[in-house]
Amino acid sequence: MPVRSAQGQRRRLRTLHDLDGAARQLRLACVTLLDDATAEADLRTTVFARVSKDQLEQAIAIVDQLTQAPDQTVAFRELFQHYPALRRVLPRLLTALGFQATPAGQPVLAAWQFLQQHPEPSRKPWPEAPTSGMTAAWRALVVDPQGHVRPRAYTFWVLHRLSEALRHHDLYVAGSERYGDPRAQLLSGADWDTVRPHILRTLNWAGEAEQALRPLADALDLAYQQTNARWPENAAVRLESGRVGHDRLILSPLDKLEEPASLRRLRSRVEALLPRPSLPDLLLEVHHWTGFADAFTHISESGERVKDLAISVCAVLLAQACNIGLEPVTQHGSPALERDRLTWVAQNYLRADTLSQANAQLVAAHAQLPLAQQWGGGEVASADGLRFVTPVQTVHAGPNPKYFGAGRGITYYNFTSDQFSGFNALLIPGTVRDSLYLLEGLLDQPTALRPQEIMTDTAGYSDIIFGLFGLLGYQFSPRLADIGEARFWRLDPHADYGVLNDLARYRIRPDLIARHWEDLLRIAGSLKMGTVNATQLIRALQRGGRPTVLGRAIGELGRIYKTRYLLAYLDDEGYRRRILTQLNRGEVRHSLARAVFYGKRGELHQAYREGQEDQLNALGLVVNAIVLWNTRYMGVILDTLRQHGQTVADEDTARLSPLGYHHISMLGHYAFVVPDMVAQGQLRPIMLEKETPLRDG
């Protein structure tokens, strides 16, 4: 429904005094009417003695004038008053925009084409305008008692339907990246026939649905049987009688994992021995290790490199990541840090592709460190959103009072590996449902890491996501806020799953999967080959929460994977703890990013999407540089402690984190000077004792 305009709200406020007076008169009459002491024979006389008939009639007239009947059509009437302003821009829209439609969008396209054929405003009703899909509330506004269409109301209805159809991808613009037809990007014809054998072999799928579903059915049945067999020993779960006669599942939360004294001592020792660099020093040192600043090339693709370009690049990265602008990193008299030089570098070197390439170098260097490999192999990752308020006026932001208060903001959707490095991030206006972007962030990432399991909070949870992940061979592992609301599905209606029989009361439709199996394979192949954008495809499959037939088929397949996941989640405490541990890594990484992005109260002041992405990707790169620096020095410290006879348990080092930042100086006027020993390829000394620096190597 349209929101009341600011002008309408002001007009409403001016009438409240009169409305209050009329309401008090009517209240007095009603109180007299409800008084049991008032005799029914003298009711009118008693009421009129307290409130005259003229006063009551006047109060009723005021209420009629100042209030609106509670029906769905009233909210639109104020909007229709803006029709003259709409007519100034509508003719250009009608001639400039050429839409195409899916079968579901054909009625909307017909209505839009009717407007194109009647571009001139008309006061006469239109007798034959298409009205398919019009709700009763709209029909009351649009169609007069004679069955003719009112042009003004009809125009607003078409625009309303148009916006819905674009959002659901029922209407699309050929060639548009954002509003194009995702189906047109799917592999088809000879192209699909060529890559189909490769896709089947790579994803380990059978070409026939029956052969593909058989092992899935066996795996689901086995998961039920194993969970049922171990149920008596599983003290964390129980079944309680629900309100509708069905059992409700209760899962106890995980106990806090205690830290042994040896871990606390080791963490304290490592933190005390870490060097104390400034953030500029740290960035330049990491560049000396990895050469990541060399990934920033001129936009003209010129191979020439100006002197001390790496210093300028690191200065601009720091200015962006700390959200402080160029002034604090500018140094007059230093050619690499003159303001003109830094502005030129920011405009010509920092962009999406160079930031991505530099970040990939940092992730690759970090993955080679022995300590990072002890934390994980890169096969597991988590995804979570970091919220930023955007106080400037921008279309690339959205409202959410929980995160942004009265303002608007964006979500920086991060992907964190089990090695603590960030391998991808996406910019989301507002707080759109995370699951829409989850698969895109996994498939379109440029680093050497290849995660096979992704963990998210409950917001990333849907049957279609489970289905697409399963099709592509990935494991989707969301943390569930309330597993009691989850549905468990079965393929075999006659299987006996013991205590789980009541939970497993929902039936999967294998016939729906089989009927669309070839299309499911084609979607998997198109996503794998990168011919279709995953986010746009998911939007098209769901249509704002109403899945298409193909979307329902993917969802049915996803229910198999989801149920197997739910059973493992119930049965294995270690699995639940592993999910929690990985999600905590992402949250602590967000704390580090917040500490770095301290300028301007942590608010994002970029107005355009490209500027927002570049600045936040610079933040992600600097955070990865800190992670790499911490990991390398922590590894040196651990080796040094072992060499000096101290016991360092592997289970303790596995619980260390490279996300600390209190030893790094991030504030002040920044100097970009590399110590001689670092320039010569050595590491800084670690302080085994305050008086006795211990050097590496």
pLDDT in tens, 3-31: 444 555 566 666 677 777 778 778 777 87
Residues 6+ apart with CB under 8 A from 202: 528
- Tell me which residue of 408, 458, 409, 453 sits closest to 433, measured CA to CA: 458
Considering Cα of 237, then 241, then 242, then 245, what sign does the dihedral take? positive
Tokens 């929690």, located at residue: 580
What is the model's pLDDT at position 697?
42
The distance in angstroms from the start CA to the end CA of the chain is 70
Look up residue 120 and give its DSSP letter.
Answer: S
H or E element, residue 615: helix 609-643
Give me 598's structure tokens. Answer: 């301290």
What is the model's pLDDT at position 242?
65
User: Given a cut of 60, is residue 146 above it in pLDDT?
Assistant: yes
| SS3 of residue 694 by DSSP | strand
Per-residue pLDDT of 210-249, as tens digits, reads 999 999 999 999 999 999 999 999 999 998 876 666 778 8
| SS3 of residue 358 by DSSP | helix
Average pLDDT over residues 60-75: 64
Average pLDDT over residues 35-41: 72
Task: Please list, residue by residue across 203-225, b when 16 or more beta carbons sit within 10 angstroms of its beta carbon and e when fewer do.
Answer: eebeeebeebbeebbeebeebbb
What is the model's pLDDT at position 244?
61
Tokens 């209407």, located at residue: 171
Dist CA 52 CA 338 (whole Å): 83
Give me 660's structure tokens. Answer: 């600390």
pLDDT confidence bin for 691, thresholds 50/70/90: very low
Helical packing angle, 463-471 and 517-529, nearest 10°: 70
Cα dihedral value 39, 44, 46, 47, nearest 10: 120
Look up residue 496 and give its DSSP letter.
Answer: -
Beta pairing partners, 453: 380, 475
Task: Count CA atoms closer than 13 A to 274's CA, side-chain side.
Answer: 25
Q: Choose from 134-138, 250-254, 535-539 the range with maximum mean pLDDT.
A: 250-254
Residues 6+ apart with CB under 8 A from 229: none
- Tell me which residue of 406, 392, 393, 468 sits closest to 435, measured CA to CA: 468
Dist CA 148 CA 132 (whole Å): 14
Per-residue pLDDT of 517-559, as tens digits, reads 999 999 999 999 998 888 888 887 876 567 877 889 999 999 9
- Tell me which residue of 554, 596, 696, 676 sits closest to 636, measured CA to CA: 696
pLDDT confidence bin for 148, thresholds 50/70/90: confident
What is the model's pLDDT at position 662?
94
Dist CA 185 CA 335 (whole Å): 49
Dist CA 689 CA 309 (whole Å): 37
Average pLDDT over residues 440-464: 88
Residues 6+ apart with CB under 8 A from 448: 360, 363, 364, 367
Average pLDDT over residues 164-169: 75
Dist CA 263 CA 671 (whole Å): 36
Write the DSSP assignment of 179-203 as a string of letters: SS-GGGGS--HHHHHHHHHHHHHHH
User: When comparing pLDDT for 660 and 462, which is higher?
Assistant: 660
Look up residue 278 and give its DSSP letter.
Answer: B
Bridge-based pairing state of the strands 247-251 and 692-694? unpaired
What is the model's pLDDT at position 625?
98
H or E element, residue 454: strand 453-456
User: When comparing pLDDT for 183 and 388, which is higher?
Assistant: 388
What is the model's pLDDT at position 3?
41
- Tell me which residue of 502, 519, 503, 505 sits closest to 557, measured CA to CA: 519
Q: Where are the alpha helices (DSSP H) in 322-462?
A: 339-348, 352-367, 370-375, 401-404, 435-443
User: Given a cut of 50, is residue 72 above it in pLDDT?
Assistant: no
Give me 353's structure tokens. Answer: 């592709």
- Max CA-CA distance within the chain? 108
User: Given a cut of 80, is residue 34 above it in pLDDT?
Assistant: no
User: When comparing pLDDT for 555 and 90, which is higher?
Assistant: 555
Task: Count CA atoms closer than 13 A to 164's CA, side-chain side.
Answer: 17
- Tell me which residue of 68, 20, 27, 62 sits closest to 47, measured CA to CA: 27
Task: Please list, residue by residue across 396-417, b when 16 or more beta carbons sit within 10 angstroms of its beta carbon and e when fewer do.
Answer: bbbebeebbeeebbbbbbbbbb
Number of Cβ within 10 Å of residue 374's Cβ equals: 15
Dist CA 242 CA 19 (whole Å): 48
Dist CA 453 CA 518 (whole Å): 25
Dist CA 471 CA 205 (whole Å): 8
Q: Where are the domains of the chain?
A: 6-67, 77-180, 182-252+461-571, 266-354+606-694
pLDDT confidence bin for 150, thresholds 50/70/90: confident
Per-residue pLDDT of 622-631, as tens digits, reads 999 999 999 9
In whole angstroms, how far apart are CA 205 and each of 361, 386, 445, 463, 507? 34, 36, 24, 20, 23
Dist CA 579 CA 456 (whole Å): 8
Give me 376's structure tokens. Answer: 């994980």
Per-residue pLDDT of 281-318, as tens digits, reads 999 999 999 999 999 999 887 666 788 999 999 999 99
* Radius of gyration, CA atoms only, the chain: 32
Dist CA 31 CA 78 (whole Å): 35
Dist CA 638 CA 79 (whole Å): 68
User: Given a cut of 60, is residue 71 above it in pLDDT?
Assistant: no
Task: Please list, residue by residue across 654-689, b when 16 or more beta carbons sit within 10 angstroms of its beta carbon and e when fewer do.
Answer: eebbbbbbeebebeeebebebeeebeeeebbebbbe
Dist CA 656 CA 200 (whole Å): 41
Geometric angle at alpha carbon 356, from 355 and 362, rounded to 5°: 90
Beta strand extents in 201-311 (DSSP E only): 237-241, 247-251
Dist CA 81 CA 659 (whole Å): 56
What is the model's pLDDT at position 4?
45
Determine the distance from the C-alpha atom of residue 394 to the mean position of all C-alpha atoms in its chain, rounded to a whole number: 19
* Cβ–Cβ under 8 Å, residues 539 and 220: no
* Cβ–Cβ under 8 Å, residues 487 and 586: no
